[in-house]
Amino acid sequence: MRRTKATQPLKSKIEVPWDTTGVANAGSPQSMPLDQIVLPPTQPRRYFEESALKQLTESIKQHGILQPLLVRPVADGKHELVAGERRYRAAQELALTEVPVVIKELDDNAAFQLALVENLLREDLNPVEETEGILQLLALKLGRSIQEVPPLLYRLQRLENKASTLTHNVMGAPDGEGDEPTHNVMGETETPNLNLNDEPLADPDLKIVEGVFEGLGLMTWASFVKNRLPLLNLPEDILDALRDGSIEYTKAKAIAQISQLNERVEFLEQAIAQNWSLSEIKQRISEKKTRASNSQTESNNYKERFTVATTKLKKSRIWSDPKKRKQIEKLLSQIEALTSVE
């Protein structure tokens, strides 16, 4: 399912902040044999929507490659692809012998960053890849591992929330004669000297993070922390469906509430096959929870009834009645037969 700007409002005001085509500070486009181009060992993008790739291939078949591929020189006279993997794949599918390229001298870090940015600015990038790509870009800019970035973002979020609370409390301090003093900040009756240039606003990591998100123009870093980072905690089967574009992330988050793997996988397949809306998904999940709750209640009622009956039976005088003892023996045999089947 192809994602559009209508279904992905976060990209509706996107602006390209960097030169992702490689035209700046590079030579003019030139033709290069396709077999001289190699893919990099680490690819920012791992999933390509089949239908979109077919459309691109058909377009290239009719009109040719309109935007050159960006490559950089590597060993053995080869050139490594930096940006334009979909065009590269389409050219392979069409068995083209030459493709237009722009050659640019780039080190490993710069090449990977350009590839990340080029992919992040694509409209058809799925939300999981977009989230992972932004984390990779942040890791490069911050000089940290990808695993260190989410905890750092959550730390910055806590610091910003703390600063916002302090600023709000200071606003409540007395500002005129006759006002009752307030004790909003550490019990002081005077307005404390809150330096808004202190943490977190002057945090060097925050400046870098803000710069990355301002440059991409996709969303704010606070929105990313709140709405996108939690996506990576979804079950792997849900993430796979998001990666291949089978389902929107709002629907995926709702389906992830189903804890049992087999039930969730079956529900997910039905939701995709029948194209259930988000409201339908939520309604069906609610009904499923209600049925499960009723079933559990019914089961508990049976257990309670059995406990009450056996308690009464122990205290009953029917043990002295031979006929009733035979009935109890018959019932016990039936119960033992039922439990032996399990």
pLDDT classification of 78: cutoffs 50, 70, 90: very high
Could you give the 3-state DSSP secondary structure of residue 247?
coil
CB atoms within 10 A of CB 124: 16
| pLDDT, greater one: 105 or 305 | 105
Whether the predicted model's global pTM rises above the 0.85 cut: no
Q: Residues 25-69: pLDDT tens digits?
A: 445 678 999 999 998 877 666 666 677 788 889 999 888 988 899
CB atoms within 10 A of CB 327: 11
Nearest to 37 by CA among 118, 125, 96: 96
Contact 96, 69 (CB under 8 A): no
Mean pLDDT of the chain: 77
Q: So what's the pLDDT on residue 22?
A: 43
- Residue ranges per structural domain of the chain: 17-120
Q: So what's the pLDDT on residue 326?
A: 82
CATH 3.10.20.30 matches 17-120: no
Q: Report the first-to-last Cα separation within the chain, whole angstroms.
A: 46
